[in-house]
């Protein structure tokens, strides 16, 4: 079984196309079978190819006719509602992929800005950043500030008698990425 | 080996017992089934119709070029003759499908690339978290560390705001200069003197309200 990525385009080589058709056709029929069995639902498949005059079907001719009859008994609105063809299928996938892409960009951007924030906290300058970067950076800093306040509150609540140790000198942590006060690392 | 999902494990070919699993399985496998049909058509040009009834009695179907024409062909036993106009329509559809396909492939490649980038960024984060205490998640820090970090963060925020205001003042004055030059015929000299930098409104996304950033300006991602 090949695990190479197949280019999703019409196979021009006749013999390769016929071989692929055979394999995938069998696979498709198997999948319909599994879906029907595992979920206990009615299903049918009809496949026409240039290689045979008669279609390949699942489960069998009678079974297909039964499912078609059940399908045609449904109101037309219901029939069409979840109907897909090649174009609508691809468009749906494009929409889904777009959504995933957006999420991934947002995720990556968050990571980028977090990285930027730590660099700036340890001495990186702001001069080469544009307004968008600065905006996002400011947002991230606000989020961090909120988190820090929350955590400080929760610590103080748990041990109110314990006086907070006087903060160290008010300076930015040194630029070298090595632990300064022996805590945390 | 305990696994969260049953992917790549052998399962029994009988009706699933757990209702919730059954519904999820239906959803995923139906989707995968249609994908396989789409691929079979793209790769080999087969004409396929699939009808599936959901556990909730709804019907899902896939059919290309058209579900009803394939059902017709199956039921009546004869295929609709391909007139030249039908062939033309089919050719147009194929062309637009090819285009859509290319668009989808391009997007999937982009997604793959962004995912890899995300992995790289995450790896980098993990590596540096080990070395710098301030990069650890806030929940793991002690009181003294938090106080120190808070000061640094608030300081940086002030500087960021200052820098952003500076940039926008420059941009505002550039805009004014451009407008001034275009409206006065003699190429009048409109310098930045009439722009008061302190009046740059905070509404431009640099608000320090408790709600944090409003992202009103610029095209940030949040």
Tens of pLDDT, residue by residue over A117-156, are 999 988 888 889 988 999 999 999 999 999 888 888 888 8
Give contacts of A91 with chain B, Cβ < 8 Å: 100
Q: Cβ–Cβ of A111/B33 closer than 8 Å? A: no
Give contacts of A41 with chain B, Cβ < 8 Å: 26, 52-55
User: Which of left, alpha, beta for A48 (phi over 0: left; psi -120 to 50: alpha)?
Assistant: beta
Out of A15-24, B84-93, B137-146, B199-208, the most confident range is A15-24
Residue A150: HSE in the Cβ half-sphere, 13 Å Cα cutoff: 10
Choice among A121-130, A134-143, B58-67, B181-190 with the minimum mean pLDDT: B181-190
Stretch A103-122: mean pLDDT = 93
Give contacts of B110 with chain A, Cβ < 8 Å: 101
Residue B194 CA to residue B169 CA, distance in Å, equals 11
Q: Are A167 and B147 in contact (CB under 8 A)?
A: yes
Q: Are A22 and B49 in contact (CB under 8 A)?
A: no
Residue A67 CA to residue B53 CA, distance in Å, equals 9
Q: What is the pLDDT of residue A156?
A: 82
Q: Are A98 and B107 in contact (CB under 8 A)?
A: yes
What ipTM goes with this model? 0.72
The C-alpha of B170 sits at a distance from chain A's nearest C-alpha, in angstroms, of 11
Residue B203 has pLDDT above 80, yes or no: no
CA B18 to chain centre: 33
Q: Cβ–Cβ of A81/B58 closer than 8 Å? A: yes
Give contacts of B55 with chain A, Cβ < 8 Å: 39-41
Residue B29 CA to residue A35 CA, distance in Å, equals 6
Stretch A3-24: mean pLDDT = 88
Q: Edge to edge, what strands does the sheet with B47-53 contain?
A: A56-58, A43-48, B47-53, B59-64, A83-84
Asked if B115 is an interface residue toward chain A (Cβ–Cβ < 8 A), one would say: yes
Q: What is the pLDDT of residues A51-103, one digit of tens each?
A: 888 899 999 999 999 999 999 999 999 999 999 999 999 999 999 999 999 99
Residue among A28, A39, A83 whose CB faces B40 most closely: A28
């Amino acid at each position: 079984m090949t695990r190479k990525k197949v280019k999703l385009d019409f196979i021009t080589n006749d013999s390769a196309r016929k071989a692929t058709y055979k394999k995938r056709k069998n696979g498709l029929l198997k999948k319909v079978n599994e879906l029907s069995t595992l979920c206990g639902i009615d299903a049918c498949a009809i496949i026409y190819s240039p290689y045979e005059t008669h279609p390949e079907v699942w489960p069998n001719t009678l079974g297909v006719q039964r499912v078609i009859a059940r399908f045609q008994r449904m109101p037309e609105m219901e029939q069409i509602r979840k109907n897909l063809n090649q174009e609508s299928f691809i468009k749906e996938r494009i929409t889904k992929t777009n959504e995933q892409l957006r999420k991934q960009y947002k995720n990556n951007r968050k990571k980028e800005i977090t990285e930027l924030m730590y660099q700036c906290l340890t001495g990186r300058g702001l001069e080469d950043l544009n307004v968008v970067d600065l905006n996002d950076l400011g947002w991230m800093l606000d989020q961090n500030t909120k988190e820090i306040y929350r955590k400080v509150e929760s610590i103080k609540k748990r041990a109110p008698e314990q006086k907070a140790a006087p903060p160290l000198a008010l300076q930015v942590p040194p630029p070298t990425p090595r632990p300064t006060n022996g805590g945390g690392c | 080996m305990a696994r969260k999902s049953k992917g790549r494990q052998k399962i029994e070919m009988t009706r699933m017992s757990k209702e919730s699993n059954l519904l999820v399985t239906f959803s995923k496998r139906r989707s995968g089934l249609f994908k396989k049909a789409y691929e079979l058509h793209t790769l080999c040009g087969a004409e396929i119709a699939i009808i599936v009834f959901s556990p909730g009695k709804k019907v899902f179907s896939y059919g290309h070029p058209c579900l009803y024409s394939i059902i017709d062909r199956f039921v009546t036993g004869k295929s609709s003759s391909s007139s030249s106009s039908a062939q033309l329509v089919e050719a147009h559809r194929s062309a637009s499908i090819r285009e859509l396909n290319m668009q989808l492939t391009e997007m999937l490649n982009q997604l793959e690339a962004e995912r890899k980038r995300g992995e790289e960024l995450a790896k980098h984060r993990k590596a540096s978290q080990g070395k710098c205490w301030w990069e650890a998640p806030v929940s793991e820090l002690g009181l003294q560390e938090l106080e120190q970090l808070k000061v640094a963060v608030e300081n940086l925020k002030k500087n960021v705001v200052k820098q952003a205001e500076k940039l926008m003042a420059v941009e505002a004055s550039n805009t004014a200069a451009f407008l001034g030059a275009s409206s006065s015929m003699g190429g009048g000299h409109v310098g930045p003197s009439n722009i008061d930098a302190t009046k740059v409104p905070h509404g431009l996304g640099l608000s320090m309200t408790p709600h944090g950033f409003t992202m009103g300006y610029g095209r940030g991602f949040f």
